[in-house]
Structure 1
């Protein structure tokens, strides 16, 4: 599973309760590394501000269990070379914790662009017994807001996608909150889940432990729910494995697209209560 690199009400469960649905997927604690490059044959004409080359890395760690909650530590460094002007670099570091019942989430996101000062976003989100979710931000400034019912946090979203995949796949809508952007944005997402893959895993050369694990092709489009009729802010495509690991990624930003190839995977010990 990847924290949004950027990253719900489901069609599968439009009347989602305030507690995590049962049964849920068993998500594997793991560390993963991805190598970022530009997809050259994207087919969109290059303007002066559109990248002509890209390089970068993603380092991701996911730990925890239903008993203890889930923690993620995500770092992405990307350098984009435009046809005009100097390269632009960005560095994103995101740390999150979600409790095992998907009622609370804490997050700290620090992002830096072109070597400037870090831009911090920090806060928490809590789902009340009635289903309403409230955000409390501490950075960049204190603020609270109610984002309504039927919100999914990132780990819960992945669990629901896996459950839908096992049930035959197809389209699935969800409202997702992950603390990114300004910390106040809710994404309306549309996930399209394909049939279970039968061919050998393309990730198995660099991550042999994925060779015999079930997987499904997944495409997730992220929309700003306040921008009606607007195209998605980005589209994320990848193979999602039954244990929650994300295979190599394609990130489509509309005017250009990046590839993030899975280069390293370490499966970590499973906590006792999750076995």
Structure 2
């Protein structure tokens, strides 16, 4: 029987790197212990509350205020990070200028910087006596200890996700399609809308989802600049900690389960977006 008639997996020889089974087992075991087991414990505790207990904890006015603030600030921060991150990625890919490598390295600074340090630094800058706060507050724009400050902190931690998801797509895109569109008489706006943005759409949506998920669970960089005033600047992750300190385990579990569910939704969106765009492209190619 010819080897060409065999299935692909049958034609492949043994792997040059032995130990796949052992590596897979150890990897899944560590993943289960570090990630899946804590999440499963949270899901079990949340299920133990029952629908009535979970709704009772969520309907608390203080909880609702913190959840609305967390979701609203995360959404606003993700949108700002998406726009600014796309612009930064465009500059890094399309232009060459002194300090470009330094700027590229600074994009990853929020990944390496402890979030508490970031929160203290942002508070020092935007407080009333800070470098920026002493200018903005006399103009009526107070940043520190307001929801605006929370958005600023969340943009700080979410910006790298937007940049790093768009940047490789721009590098792979090149300029050939733009030059072809320009040779056909397309304006810059038309080229951006009809050529560049469709190619960047999956990366933009992925960057937005990552920035939103990161902002939704952010804690360290927010609690310093927020002021943590109940019903005004108290975020949901902080309220989880407060409920635990009050020995209100059901209340903490209910809020944590809600944030966990939203994180799973973001994860599904991140994984589904490339598949949807690939399916649409296949349909267009067949058409």
Q: TM-score when scaled to structure 2?
A: 0.21
Which has the higher relative contact order, 1 or 2, with Cα contacts under 8 A spaced 6 or more apart? 2
Q: TM-score when scaled to structure 1?
A: 0.22
Which has the larger share of helix?
2
